[in-house]
Amino acid sequence: MTAPTAAGTFPPDLPGLDPAWSRLVVVPDPATGGEAVHHLLDTGAALAALGVEPVGTILAVHGNPTWSYLWRDLLAESLRRAEAGEQAWRVVAVDQLEMGFSQRTGVVRRVADRVRDLGLLTDALALEGPVVALGHDWGGVIVSGWALAHQDVLAGLVLTNTAVDGHQALPPALRLALAASSGGTERTTAFLETTLAIAHPPLARRVKDAFRTPYRGAARRGGIRDFVADIPATEAHPSRRAVEGIAEGLRALAAPALLLWGPRDPVFQERYLHDLIDRLPHAEVHRFEGAGHLLPEDVDVAGAVLDWVASPTRSREQGRPASEWPTRPMWAELDDRAEDDAVALVELRGDGERRLPWRLLARRVRDLAAGFDAVGVRAGDRVSLLVPPGGDLTAALFACLRIGAVVVVADAGLGVAGLTRAVNGARPDWVVGIPRALAAARALGWPRRRIAASGLSRPALVALGVAHTLPELARLGRGRALPQEPGPDDLAAVLFTSGSTGPAKGVRYTQARLAGVRDALVAQYGIGRATGLVAGFAPFALLGPALGCRTAVPDMDVTKPATLTAAALARAVAAIDADAVFLSPAALTNVLATDPEPAAFDGVRLLLTVGAPVGAPLLDEAQQVLRHASLRTPYGMTESLLVADVTREQIHEAGDGDGVPVGPATARAEVRIAPLDEDGRATGEPTHEPDVTGEIQVRAPHMLAGYDRLWRTTHAARADGWHRTGDVGHLDADGRLWVEGRLPHVVVTADGVVTPVGVEQAAQRAGASRAAAVGVGPRGTQQLVVVAEGAEGPLADPALAAAVRREVGRPVAAVLATPALPVDVRHNAKIDRARVAAWASRVLAGERAGRP
């Protein structure tokens, strides 16, 4: 056998690793009948030197072909937090026998042997609870086996990019490694080098060398070979029963669990994550977009783990339990009007229209609900709805809500890449879609259980891999009993954000919280059965029937709001004698640009522009067309659709200020401000005091229950039951909320913190049609740069530049120009300031920058 490296000769210069953490522990070894020496990294002595008593231990186990070095950031961060007076956890990161700097015994060790070895090591360490077990790669299987055998001390289980299901077909990367395990993984470093090459971003050379250090020479790589060979790829494999036992044991594990995942993993693909979610349905989940197999190298796993173990509650929900809020279910209005022949929904397409009375819509919803149940859609199943707003989408959505299925809504405006990320993240069990969406679902490998929104020919059904159609389900459900209704706290929907300020995130709504959105609209605007509503903003096409409104969906591409014309809006208004219109800023802008006839809108009493704050000039122009309407612009976000509300008159009354006034909080919402510190971070004690700039935080019964499979994002957005919006603003002396921009876009100069919106408004007063205020340079010494839209640049006209500097009233390093600023096309109002800042940096560095 090969002796381990002695503690005194442990390489002292590995980046990020303190040699003082290294120790050797002698443990009985039943495989040899003698003893074996384990190497591990342990912060116990460092905590003792600090005089700190740990609250528990994190037991971290590496996979193949890494070693305990994988967890160096966890050890370092745990000590940093202990030194800062935060909750202290001891971290013990082991090298499995035959791996890392532990002993080479020459014995082939199977999964069961490794679970036993780990148990003997923790016995030798006299490891008492609470213990949080943490594993990566095949270390996840080993530590899961240990956790099941030590539930008396187990406080939690954290798994990262691993698998316990041996019944799934092995991915190509593992099949290739298995084929080479007869000797290739020992004689060469190919397996090790391939693993080190798939980090995102690439590993530094010294870090790669550190991972290679314990595997210099074929004699020290036998464990790598044996680990690969121990993959239970066949029914007869010696480790098959042990892995199956661990897999099934996890189903009964009651301890808290956290699953951290890198979706770009070619080895442990997302199907393995979803298998773990099925076995551990109570687990918190966080998917790190862009990260891959070597997750602790790709992202801050250390921070995520330590935040999780320190979290006093690990619930997905925010604020008070939703069941405390009495509310009618979303489908109640449909039940109440099942015999009503009045018009519920008008869908306008081309030269035609489709009119659905309440009676037929209610029956369609009921039949579809029973039909979904008949083909196996169950409460908790996720159903992705890839159908344009109209009768089919409305009926399918309310049918899903009625049986407790979770609707997943991510519109085509996200693009193919954004939609794919959304579907992969939400992992729906079923897809309901139009043919174009179903073709994409098949091509991109989305869920195989597909339902067509309309009837299709047999060849088309086969080509698209469609199992059922909505008309077929309606026939199946006719006369069939409905399953039990879902409860108020059951998950109802995952709604994806626009992705205008980063990758789209799935926002979780329970049944009660979703119904709370409806109730907030009723309370704020008095919308109800007497209202005729034109929904030019997709969410309200779905809310209309829940509100009891007769609803019209205008002829437009809802993924491109700027396709709505004045003629199409007028036609929709006339179709239902509408008195309320909901539009995005982009839709309203195009309506005003396409020769509207004011007389066509004289019956409209309420216009809501939703999706982004709107300034007075656009509303003033709209008032000339909607002569008798109250023009209001609600403030909200996917996470809480109605937070504040302001009228055109109130905007004028507020006057010029630092930001856009969005009004006081609505009756069912609360707003507070977390002040910014000198570094532009929201660290201050939340306040309701006027004229304090900081992050806007909200609380309401109709806000999100958390983000979907983004535990760390949910955790970061929580603040004692409040939601941290990421928006920056202030309250004025009259209680009005002003929005000044986004927290990531705050400019931190040597003279102080600058929020962007006020500067942009000043630039517009100086003559710019639209502007972006961004920071260039290191945070703390950033230079304020204004980029004006409307002219070729990159330098702005000197007269405009001078006027901008005068109006802004603070140092502006440069005024640049571009023909068009990049904006979110869904709202035509959210400027991509990060993209503009990158462009401005290139321009000021003298590079050929093109356009932002």
Least confident of 38-52, 373-387, 392-406, 436-450: 436-450
Residue 727 covered by a domain: no
Among the residue ranges 125-134, 183-192, 339-348, 771-780, the one predicted with the least confidence is 183-192
850 pLDDT band, cuts 50/70/90, is confident
pLDDT digits (tens, 9 = 90+) for 276-334: 999 999 999 999 999 999 999 999 999 999 999 998 544 444 444 444 445 799 999 99
The reply to whether 473 and 535 lie within a common domain is no
Of 609, 633, 657, which residue is a domain's last? 633
Q: How many CA atoms lie within 13 A of 124 on its CB side?
A: 20
The answer to whether residues 773 and 846 belong to one domain is yes
Q: Which residues contact 495 (CB under 8 A, 6 or more apart)?
A: 409, 506, 507, 509, 539, 638
Indicate whether 477 and 541 sit together in one domain. no
8 A C-beta contact, residue 711 and residue 514: no
- The whole-angstrom separation of Cα 97 and Cα 142 is 12
CA geometry: angle at 148 spanning 144 and 153, to 5°? 105
Q: What token pair was written down for 753?
A: 């913190």
Structural domain ending residue among the three candidates 590, 617, 633? 633
Q: Tell me the CA end-to-end span of the chain in Å, nearest whole number.
A: 62
pLDDT tens column, 655-690: 988 999 999 999 899 999 999 999 999 999 999 999
Domain count, the chain: 4
Q: What pLDDT is attached to residue 185?
A: 65
Beta strand ranges found along 240-303 (DSSP E): 257-261, 284-287
Do 291 and 408 lie in one domain? The reply is no
pLDDT at 106 over 70: yes
CATH code of the domain containing 838: 3.30.300.30
Residue 329, domain member (yes or no): no
Model pLDDT, residue 318: 43
Query: pTM for the complete prediction?
Result: 0.90
Provide mean pLDDT across the span 580-587.
91
Q: What is the pLDDT of residue 458?
A: 87
- Which of 701, 725, 729, 700 has its CA nearest to residue 713? 725
Q: How far apart are CA 64 and CA 223, in angstroms?
A: 9
> What are the percentages of helix, strand and coil residues in the chain, rounded to 5?
35, 25, 40
**Is residue 332 in a domain?**
no
The CATH number that applies at residue 610 is 3.40.50.980
Q: How confident is the model at residue 640 (pLDDT cuts 50, 70, 90)?
A: very high
Looking at the structure, tell me whether residues 291 and 399 fall in a common domain. no
Greater pLDDT, 173 or 687: 687
- Phi and psi at residue 78, to the nearest 5°: -65, -40
Q: Is 838 helix (H, G, I), strand (E, B) or coil?
A: helix
The closest alpha carbon to 286, from 710, 832, 821, belongs to 710
In a domain, 693, yes or no: no
Give, in order, the Cα–Cα distances in Å from 457 to each of 176, 431, 469: 42, 18, 11
d(CA 452, CA 386): 10
Dist CA 94 CA 68 (whole Å): 6
Does residue 237 share a domain with residue 171? yes
Same domain for 146 and 272, yes or no, is: yes
315 lies in a domain?
A: no
Full residue range of the structural domain in which residue 371 is found: 358-486
Same domain, yes or no: 301 and 382: no
* 478 and 537 housed in the same domain: no
CATH number (domain holding residue 160)? 3.40.50.1820
Least confident of 64-68, 257-261, 494-498, 801-805: 494-498
Asked whether residue 116 is domain-assigned, the answer is yes
- Domain membership of residue 213 (yes or no) is yes
Question: Does residue 440 sit in the same domain as residue 553?
Answer: no
**What is the three-class DSSP state of 660?**
strand
Could you tell me if residue 642 is inside a domain? no
How many angstroms separate the Cα of 295 from the Cα of each of 9, 67, 158, 260, 795?
29, 14, 13, 8, 43
400 lies in the same domain as 299: no
- The reply to whether 366 and 442 lie within a common domain is yes
Q: CA-CA distance, 679 to 677, in Å (whole number)?
A: 5
3-class SS of residue 786: strand
